[in-house]
Amino acid sequence: IHQYKNRVLFLTTLKCFGYCRYCFRKNLTFETSGASKYASKDLPLQNAASQDASSKGANNDELEKIYQYLSQHDEIQEILFSGGDPLMLPNAALFDLIARIRQSRPKILIRICTRSLFFAPERFTDETIELLRSAKPLWIIPHINHPYEIDEKFAPNSVKAIEKILDAGISMQSQTVLLRGVNDNVETLSCLFENLTKLGIKPGYLFQLDLAKGISHFRVPIDEAVQLYEKLRSELSGLSLPTFAVDLPSGGGKFNLLQLESGNATTKVIKHDDKYEFVRGGKSYFYPRT
């Protein structure tokens, strides 16, 4: 998916260690006809002998098109491995993908977006961490929503895995989703972002909830969410404060919610009674106010 000029998103697999109730991609993984409907859209390599057939995806011809596309577009400086969860792939498949991408673009920055640190910290074996270290430039982007997920009392194995990754010299930046009833208060978010920074993980993004079927009860109304973030700004240093953004529906891209009132040179924001209208590139994108 090439939505931004300098980076692309690579859906490596539709398989996850766990299926988060609020996930906007559950429409892919939880179709009533089953995930098998999308088997051809999963993207691990067919030549990885340890791979289960149910997690296979793009064939080698399709992958060659990806490598060719990267080699032909010098403006692409980063590739995000997402899914599903890239670390659902066995090492043979994951690092074969990385090696092939490095052949196409030796210096491209790889970002591995994952929830595995909290669902399956044992995935980060010494072998896996060494392979990740050897694949630099590479960042791990953990998805983390609550301070308990990095608390030594509640999640000692997750903390140990994080420390091992950082000790190997692998950079990490987090992303968090604002969730009603889970982390929608200053105390919880401050604790999370301060503790991430102390561990050595840079808080990257706090995201307003994506719009997806069946998850509206997790959504903090956007005006309330902005007020919450304003309070958070007064509590945290610039080092610990993530960017607060919404990923606009229908492919509108990320929008920094600090610009909500005025917009910027390329985006106009119109406040309606029941929704915000974001006008970007002559196209309107809507997000509900409640």
Least confident of 14-23, 132-141, 268-277, 281-290: 14-23
Average pLDDT, the chain: 87
Q: What is the pLDDT of residue 55?
A: 46
Total Cβ atoms within 10 A of residue 92: 15
Give per-residue pLDDT as tens, 203-240: 999 999 999 888 999 999 999 999 999 999 999 999 99
pLDDT category, 262, cuts 50, 70, 90? low
Please count the CA atoms within 13 angstroms of the CA of 7 that sit on its side-chain side.
10
Q: What is the pLDDT of residue 224?
A: 95
Average pLDDT score over residue span 162-182:
97
Task: Give the separation between CA 5 and CA 76, rounded to whole angstroms.
Answer: 7
Report whether 46 contacts 145 (CB < 8 A).
Answer: no
Q: 69 is written with which tokens?
A: 């596309």
Q: In angstroms, how far is CA 192 from the centroid of its own chain?
A: 17
> CA 91 → CA 50, 96, 139, distances in Å?
9, 8, 17
> CA 233 → CA 113, 190, 227, distances in Å?
25, 9, 10
Least confident of 154-163, 234-243, 252-261: 252-261
Give per-residue pLDDT as tens, 24-75: 776 665 443 343 343 334 333 333 323 332 344 456 787 888 899 999 999 9
Q: What is the pLDDT of residue 83?
A: 85
Q: What is the pLDDT of residue 263?
A: 57
Query: Which residue stretches of the chain are H helix?
Result: 26-29, 60-72, 91-104, 116-119, 126-134, 156-167, 186-199, 222-235
Q: Which residue has the tokens 């903090």?
A: 220
Task: Give the separation between CA 180 and CA 239, rounded to whole angstroms.
Answer: 25
Q: What is the four-CA torsion angle of 160, 163, 168, 172, rounded to 10 degrees?
A: 120
Give per-residue pLDDT as tens, 99-117: 999 999 999 999 999 999 9
pLDDT category, 82, cuts 50, 70, 90? very high
Q: What is the pLDDT of residue 51?
A: 37
Task: Give the separation between CA 188 and CA 196, rounded to whole angstroms.
Answer: 12
**Does the model's pTM come out above 0.75?**
yes
Least confident of 3-12, 35-44, 80-89, 167-176: 35-44
